[in-house]
Structures are given as C-alpha cells and as structure tokens.
Amino acid sequence: MKNKVAIITGAASGIGKATAELFAQHGAKIIVSDIRETEGEQTAKDIVSAGGTASFFKTDVANPADMEALVDYAVKTYGKLDIAVNNAGIGGEQNLVGDMSIEGWNKVITINLSSLFYGMKYQLQAMLKNGGGSIVNISSILGSVGFAYSAGYSAAKHGIIGLTQTAALEYSARNIRINAVGPGFIDTPLLKGLDDNVMKQIIAMHPIGRLGRSEEVAELIFWLAGDKASFVTGSYYPVDGGYLAK
C-alpha cells in the first residue's frame, strides 16, 4: 500500500473514514471525498496529524462532472491513481414499492448505483494510464437479498454487484481488479435515529449478536485493494456477522 494513491468516497465518517485511516497507516496517499465539507476536511486533518498523507476534495457523487473532477484532482495532486473505494451512499426512502415516490426512487438509485458508474468511468481511464489498479465497490448484504420497505436501496446494491462483475470481466486482462464488499448492518451514522426496538431487531438478525464495526469492514477493503489479493477479481465478499448464512 505504500505510496499508492487512493480515492475513497463517503470518507467523512463510518466505513469510508475507517478505510481512509487504515490505508494511510500503511503508507497510501488518500483523497478524502465527501459532500460534507467540514467532516471530510477533518478526516484529512486527522490522517495528516497521525503522520499520513491526505487531502480533501468535496464531491457530489450524483454529479458525473464532480466524479471526473475528483479523479483529475487525484492525478494532478499525487501523479496517478492506483485504488478507488466507491463507498458513498444513502439509506433512501423507506416505503412499500407501490407507495414509493418517483423522486425517492431516483435519488437512491442515482446516489447508490449510478454514482459508481460515474466514478468507475473516470477511475478506469486513469488506472489504464498508470498500468493497472484496484477498485472496491461497497454494496451491502442487501445486494443479494431483499429487505422490506427498502426497494430502491436493495435494487441499487444488487446493481453494484452486476456492475462490478461486468467491469471485472472487461478489465481483468488489463491489470485492473474490481471487487465488491457487502457489509451487514454496521454501527455508523447511517443507522442513527432508529429507535431502540428497531435496533434490537436489527441486531437479532446477525447470528454473531451485534452490529459490525467500520474498522472490520475496512480490513476487508484493505485486503481486496492491496496486492495480496492479486488473484481476486469479480468477487462479492459479505462481511455481515453471519446475516446471509441463515
């Protein structure tokens, strides 16, 4: 990981922040990307204070021009792009399929799925110029099963796996590996606001008996992004406390 240049979207908090910090600890140069400027800048400052290399670039992942600008910034600032972790996402509207708003559907599909296409479109171009690279797309356990009242989220996360596998087939012979990670319910700001009863129900869905930690997901992302996973591409790895084993 030393001197590798990595873009991490949604790095202001949660899984993205933990991943950025872990990569930096191992010598990577990090572009912290998020729409939340204050928190994103703080992540970059924390990395630098700990002796790492990082800079912040404000990005709206739903905007293709922003995703192109993010890649351009990485190359101009650090000279290349080796790794991309497409992590940014939202929970989206919770509703029955028949009652979901068109706006709610479009928003979650754009932010959780189309944004990964926008990112990969430009990330792949930069990596080809660099002779190769690694992309890790953050899907979900809901990328392989459904979940009531979360049609948009589940559809987007399923789509990520298909997009990942297709891109992996297209670019594996060109020294770019592309994989997906499927976290279970992780203790991040995405779950804030849920009442205690709902939280207890969610925890009970995981045979391990607790929510996951961002750092646990970051360890899997780190392995997939790095050279030790050199024969791994087109794969989907759940990290879910046994959720999908039921």
Q: How many CB atoms lie within 10 A of CB 97?
A: 11
Q: What residue type is 228 in one-letter code?
A: K
H runs (alpha helix) in the chain: 14-25, 37-49, 64-78, 102-109, 115-130, 151-171, 196-204, 214-225
Asked about 78 being catalytic, the answer comes back as no
Contact 29, 78 (CB under 8 A): yes
| Cα 202 from Cα 200, distance rounded (Å) | 5
Burial class (CB in 10 A: 0-12, 13-18, 19+), 33: buried
Q: How many CB atoms lie within 10 A of CB 142?
A: 20
DSSP class per residue in 101-121 = -HHHHHHHHIIIIIHHHHHHH
CA proximity to 83, closest of 10, 178, 163 = 178
Contact 28, 2 (CB under 8 A): yes
* Catalytic annotation, pick one of 73, 122, 153, 243: 153
Catalytically active residues, by annotation: 153
